């Protein structure tokens, strides 16, 4: 059984012990009866079968583990390519019957994660078992064939979706029936991608009513799980294709139709039918900025016989996973908090310890910047310790869900402020001044306006650790720990636009221009932020034009990059990018998450551009990838290659 829709409609049962292929079924949002009534009363209904094919996460470094067993202590040390060291530690301790402190998990630079590496795999457990049995270190590195076939795949959803509009083009109802391919068994995230895909379905728009029905099925395929854009790429594909098709059928400008239905800044905070409470933002402004930039674009050779179009898509991104109480309520075995320890060493340098993980997103740099700003230290005097379960504060989540800077950074903003206040109090005590009159600048605590009156942080730290000459009642040392559990989710957002040229003779789609305006709250490091968005767009272009994991009789058809195409530099255009900074009212420091936003709307944006270039085929653009053979068939009305689910 390697077709999810068939699995849901009576195909042979994959798991006889369950008696059904449907392992999870639920509804979300408004009651179905209310949405159906609104659809029945709508002046216009757009009804589409939309597919988000299964894709494969492809970090540049595959998974791997080195395990070392100490027979004398019964201790296990594992160097693991993971996004969550404490998650791996907990599972290994349980499997081997060890106390948690007998297992140490270290994650060095791991060459990308994207969700593929956010949990423990059986082959990594077997590496540890081999080390235990042989009492010597054992190394296992996944080869690329294994990575394509054994590491988690992602996406794999089929939506029968309907959008209802009134005579003025107002969105009155949205409903989708979802079939989600879980693979041979549910992964550690279970139905999570479907929960998020339906929950984020409304995006930046106001709907009279909205809901969804989901069936998660098992098939004879590699399990699916977390991947960058977790559930939100699916939501964006369904919603933005429906909206674009509605604009085409009604003869409306696709930007104008979106703007007419967008939530306005004065309506924030805004609660959706799926109970997401958007915190802040100006959605119309981002789309208007993108539209102005994209529509000013003129192709270099407009008379070459190619068919051209510009497409748009907008979305809202769920970031900063938390609070802890919500994780418990929905059944995620995750904490929603992060802890930060910041310490000024006796030599005046600072050490930051955090449970956030490094997956190439630059978190060490951005956390160092926060600490440097908070403590008045040069950046080169800050050291960030990360990825070692024996040293860093507990975090079961690690680097997932665009939460590292939002939650770990929020904790560090608070711990740095507390430590700075303690330093100011010590300096004021010795200078016979008020703490309010002390500033921390360039490694010194000094009187505001009189920089010659002060002490270096090294001088203060050396004596503070000795416990000498401290204010009455103050403990020795310069270290603060803060656990920050966010009060709610933070919601980033963006609008994207793409200009494409379609060759009618070959079906090849070239992206000639790409534009985005993103709002992730306060940007700690704009260069890293732009790199995150650029990288996400590159991945999204892969999904739009090249990528789909295909199977025949349960056998995967791709085992290398010869079989599974990804973009090269030639296929990724320069990106025009701008940012809005609407500080989060929730996060200390005002940051929102950014890591997944670049990817989420890209397939829909590119597909909408192809639809604009090929209006006669627009209603048949229902799945990706829009590879040359597929687009040639759309142009020439030939047989459609069919869904990757088939």
Is residue 646 scored above 60 in pLDDT?
no
- Averaged pLDDT, 2-11: 92
Give DSSP secondary structure letters for 517-558: EEE-BS-S-HHHHHHHHHHHHHHHHHHHHT----EETTEES-
Are 354 and 367 contacting, i.e. CB atoms less than 8 angstroms apart? yes
Are 5 and 18 contacting, i.e. CB atoms less than 8 angstroms apart? no
Mean residue pLDDT across the chain: 95
The whole-angstrom separation of Cα 488 and Cα 277 is: 8
Residue 334 confidence class, pLDDT cut points 50, 70, 90 = confident
pLDDT cut 70: percent of the chain above it: 99
The whole-angstrom separation of Cα 424 and Cα 580 is: 34
What is the largest distance, in Å, between two alpha-carbon atoms of the chain?
Answer: 85
- With a CB cutoff of 8 Å and minimum separation 6, the contacts of 293 are 497, 515, 576, 578
- Averaged pLDDT, 313-319: 97
Is residue 638 scored above 70 in pLDDT?
no
* pLDDT in the model for residue 295: 95
Are 9 and 228 contacting, i.e. CB atoms less than 8 angstroms apart? no
The whole-angstrom separation of Cα 265 and Cα 273 is: 18
Residue 401 confidence class, pLDDT cut points 50, 70, 90 = confident
- What angle (nearest 5°) sits at the alpha carbon of residue 158, between those of residues 155 and 162? 125
**Which residue in 167, 171, 153 sits closest to 645, CA to CA?**
153
Is residue 249 scored above 60 in pLDDT?
yes
- Averaged pLDDT, 5-9: 94
- With a CB cutoff of 8 Å and minimum separation 6, the contacts of 573 are 511, 512, 513, 514
The 10s digit of each residue's pLDDT in 87-123 is 999 999 999 999 999 999 999 989 999 999 999 999 9
The whole-angstrom separation of Cα 605 and Cα 161 is: 18
Residue 553 confidence class, pLDDT cut points 50, 70, 90 = confident
Strand ranges (E), 167-295: 171-181, 210-217, 270-271, 277-278
The 10s digit of each residue's pLDDT in 411-433 is 999 999 999 999 999 999 999 99
Q: What is the DSSP letter of 616?
A: G
- Averaged pLDDT, 600-622: 98
This prediction has a pTM of 0.96
């Amino acid at each position: 059984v390697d077709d999810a829709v068939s699995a849901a409609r009576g195909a042979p049962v994959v798991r006889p012990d369950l008696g059904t292929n449907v392992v999870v079924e639920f509804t979300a949002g408004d009651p179905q009866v209310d949405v159906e009534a609104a659809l029945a009363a709508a002046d216009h209904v757009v009804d589409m079968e939309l597919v988000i094919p299964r894709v494969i996460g492809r970090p540049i470094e595959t998974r791997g583990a080195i395990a070392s067993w100490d027979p004398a202590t019964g201790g296990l040390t594992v160097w693991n390519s993971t996004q969550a060291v404490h998650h791996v530690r907990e599972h290994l301790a349980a499997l081997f019957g060890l106390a948690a402190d007998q297992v140490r998990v270290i994650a060095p630079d791991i060459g990308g994660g994207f969700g593929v590496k956010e949990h423990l795999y059986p082959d990594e457990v077997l590496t540890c078992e081999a080390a235990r049995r042989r009492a010597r270190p054992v190394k296992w590195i996944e080869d690329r064939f294994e990575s394509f076939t054994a590491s988690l795949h992602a996406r794999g959803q089929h939506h029968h979706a309907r959008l209802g509009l009134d005579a003025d083009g107002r969105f009155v109802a949205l409903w989708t029936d979802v079939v989600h391919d879980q693979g041979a068994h549910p992964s550690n995230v279970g139905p999570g991608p479907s929960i998020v895909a339906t929950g984020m379905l409304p995006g930046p728009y106001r709907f009279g009513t909205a809901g969804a029905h989901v069936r998660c099925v098992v098939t004879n395929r590699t399990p699916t799980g977390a991947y960058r854009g977790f559930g939100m790429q699916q939501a964006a594909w369904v919603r933005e294709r429906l909206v674009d098709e509605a604009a085409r059928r009604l003869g409306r400008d696709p930007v104008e139709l979106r703007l007419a239905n967008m939530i306005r800044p004065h309506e924030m905070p805004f609660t959706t039918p799926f109970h997401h409470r958007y915190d802040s933002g100006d959605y119309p402004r981002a789309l208007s900025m993108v539209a102005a930039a994209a529509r000013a674009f003129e192709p270099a050779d407009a008379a070459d016989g190619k068919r051209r179009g510009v497409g748009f898509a907008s979305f809202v991104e769920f970031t900063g996973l938390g609070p802890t109480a919500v994780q418990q309520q929905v059944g995620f075995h995750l904490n929603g908090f992060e802890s930060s320890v910041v310490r000024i060493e006796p030599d005046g340098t600072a050490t930051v310890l955090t449970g956030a993980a490094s997956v190439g997103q630059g978190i060490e740099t951005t956390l160092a910047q926060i600490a440097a700003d908070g403590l008045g230290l040069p950046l080169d005097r800050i050291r960030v310790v990360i990825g070692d379960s024996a040293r860093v504060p507990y975090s079961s989540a690690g680097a997932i869900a665009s939460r590292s800077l939002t939650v770990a950074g929020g904790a560090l903003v608070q711990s740095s402020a507390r430590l700075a206040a303690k330093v100011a109090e010590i300096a004021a005590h010795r200078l016979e001044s008020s703490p309010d009159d002390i500033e921390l600048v360039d490694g010194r605590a000094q009187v505001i306006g009189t920089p010659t009156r002060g002490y270096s942080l090294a001088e203060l730290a050396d004596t503070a650790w000795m416990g000498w000459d401290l204010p009455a009642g103050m403990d020795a040392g310069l270290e603060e720990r803060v656990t920050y559990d966010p009060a709610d989710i933070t919601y980033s957002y963006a609008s994207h636009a793409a200009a494409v040229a379609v060759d009618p003779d070959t079906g090849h789609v070239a992206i000639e221009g790409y534009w985005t305006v993103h709002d992730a709250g306060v940007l700690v490091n704009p260069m890293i932020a732009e790199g995150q968005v650029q990288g996400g767009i590159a991945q999204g272009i892969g999904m739009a034009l090249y990528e789909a994991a295909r199977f025949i009789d349960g056998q995967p058809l791709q085992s290398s990059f010869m079989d599974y195409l990804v973009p090269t530099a030639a296929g990724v255009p320069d990106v025009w990018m701008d940012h809005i900074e609407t500080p989060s009212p929730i996060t200390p420091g005002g940051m929102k998450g950014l890591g997944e936003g670049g990817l989420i709307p890209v397939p829909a944006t590119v597909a909408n551009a192809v639809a604009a270039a090929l209006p006669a085929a627009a209603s048949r653009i229902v799945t990706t990838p829009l590879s040359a053979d597929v687009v040639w068939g759309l142009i020439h009305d030939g047989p459609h290659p069919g869904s990757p689910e088939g």
